[in-house]
Amino acid sequence: MPIDQIKLTSFRNHAETSMSFGPGINVIWGENGSGKTSVLEAVHILSIGKSFKTNRINETVKHNTDVSRIEARFTKNEKKETISFSQSTDRRRQLKINDTVVKAREIVGKNPAVLLSPEEQKITKGTPGDRRGYFNKLYSTVSGEYFKSLSIFTRTLKQRNAVLKNPNQKEQFNTWDDLLAESAETIWKHRICFNSKYNECLKTVSKMYNKNSVSISLNTDDTKKTKDEISTELKKREQIDLRNKSTSFGPHKDDFTFLFNNTPVKQFGSQGEHKISLVLIKLAEYMFIKNETNQTPTLLLDDLFAKLDFERSDAVLALLEKKSQTIITNTDLVDIEKHGIDLNDPNNKSFHLERQCSN
């Protein structure tokens, strides 16, 4: 669902900024600190309800103000739709679709976005938790059932772990274990199916980008587990869990390993291999969302030209489909011209941001 217009109020360094986007390539340019990445962050929040820069989303409220607001207008099947998100410093938030207050799960998947930014390099370089976070976000985007089961699982796990820290409440185990096993079964069922589809996308993009015969794939343990098997395993580990005061079995322990030419990229990848792996991962993500939802995600390319050499960034642009809405940030327009992006094309737009003195 392409974004027609976005308005940021008291968001990061933006006091009030409005931008209209075209359905093609949109370039946001300006000096360091002018607020380019913040615009992508705002689009990302409207897409998934979360920032990619912080878990404490109230940090995005402009200093010395109380409430931030992001509002965007979309066109879907020729109908206009408005999604807004307001956030206060005291952690209250409100999401609306066309003036109706909604829960986060109602916006997830409505306007999928794929983000390629320096922060996302944690997918290949970061902890197993970073990779789980990546796949949880992606699979939630394409499946409401996954999103719901994950929310139940996360909440229940927290409660079970609290009980583990307080053995006086030991009799509550069975209540939590049942809920935990049920949601874990659904999460694993979806993960097994999605992992295989996602891997196919990785194979396809690796073939498309075949300059250096690169292959990237995902390695996971996809053994099917039923609710009963999960409950039995939880019971079996009760003593260990009580000793360690945390739950040792479940989807929160899954490991997603990316292989670059059959070798784990996290341990052995060179800087360049990490970068190209991330690009292929993102292109596969784009393809996966498109296949699963029939929607074309908006591509958010933060600092693409600063992070990739000319040849690689050109390869990324060549792989983009012409009909996908793309938002690129850069400090100037020189790289944009070098890559042959025509800003006179009526589908493309550019927006210049200036650093505000009152930051």
Ligand X SMILES: Nc1ncnc2c1ncn2[C@@H]1O[C@H](COP(=O)(O)OP(=O)(O)OP(=O)(O)O)[C@@H](O)[C@H]1O
Residue 119: Cβ within 10 Å count: 16
| Residue number with CB closer to ligand X (60 or 277) | 60
Among 15, 16, 20, 33, binds ligand X (CB under 6 A): 33
Alpha helices in the chain (DSSP H): 36-48, 104-107, 122-125, 128-142, 144-164, 173-208, 227-236, 238-244, 265-268, 271-293, 304-307, 310-319, 334-338
| Residue number with CB closer to Mg ion (101 or 306) | 306
Q: Which stretch binds ligand X (CB under 6 A): 55-63, 86-94, 102-110, 223-231?
A: 55-63
Q: How far is the CB of 62 from ligand X (least distance, A)?
A: 4
State the Cα–Cα distance between residues 10 and 16, nearest whole angstrom: 6
From the number of C-beta atoms within 10 Å of its C-beta (0-12, 13-18, 19+), residue 224 rates as exposed
Q: Which of 174, 167, 110 is nearest to 142 (CA)?
A: 110
Residues in the chain: 359
Question: Distance of CA 197 to CAs 149, 204, 312, Å?
Answer: 20, 11, 25
Give the x/- contact pattern for Mg ion in 48-77, rule: CB under 5 A. Answer: ------------------------------
Q: Which does residue 13 bind out of Mg ion, ligand X, none, counting CB within 5 to 8 angstroms by kind?
A: ligand X
Q: Which of 189, 182, 191, 193 is nearest to 227 (CA)?
A: 182
Q: Which stretch binds ligand X (CB under 6 A): 58-66, 85-93, 101-109, 130-138?
A: 58-66
Q: Which does residue 145 bind out of ligand X, Mg ion, none, counting CB within 5 to 8 angstroms by kind?
A: none
Q: Which does residue 158 bind out of Mg ion, ligand X, none, counting CB within 5 to 8 angstroms by kind?
A: none
Within its chain, how far is the Cα of 88 from the centroid?
23
Does position 37 interact with Mg ion (CB under 5 A)? The reply is: yes
Give the x/- contact pattern for ligand X in 307-336, rule: CB under 6 A. Answer: ------------------------x-----
Among 16, 63, 80, 236, binds ligand X (CB under 6 A): 63
Q: Name every residue whose Cβ is closer than 8 Å to that of residue 328 and which is 6 or more positions away in sequence.
A: 25, 26, 27, 28, 301, 304, 336
Q: How far is the CB of 303 from ligand X (least distance, A)?
A: 6
Q: Which stretch binds ligand X (CB under 6 A): 53-61, 98-106, 142-150, 317-325?
A: 53-61
Among 9, 26, 34, 143, binds ligand X (CB under 6 A): 34
Query: Strand pairing partners for 25?
Result: 326
State the Cα–Cα distance between residues 264 and 313, nearest whole angstrom: 24
| Residue number with CB closer to Mg ion (37 or 68) | 37
Q: How far is the CB of 40 from Mg ion (least distance, A)?
A: 8
Q: How far is the CB of 203 from Mg ion (least distance, A)?
A: 32
φ/ψ of 178, rounded to 5, equals -65, -50
| Residue number with CB closer to ligand X (60 or 195) | 60
Q: How far is the CB of 61 from ligand X (least distance, A)?
A: 6
Does position 87 interact with ligand X (CB under 6 A)? The reply is: no
Handedness of CA 50, 51, 52, 54 (dihedral sign): negative
Handedness of CA 281, 283, 289, 292 (dihedral sign): negative
Query: Strand pairing partners for 16?
Result: 9
Q: How far is the CB of 307 from ligand X (least distance, A)?
A: 11
Q: Which stretch binds ligand X (CB under 6 A): 57-65, 164-172, 193-201, 205-213?
A: 57-65
Which residues bind to Mg ion, rule: CB under 5 A? 36-37
Point out which residues bind ligand X (CB under 6 A): 12-13, 30, 32-38, 59-63, 331, 359
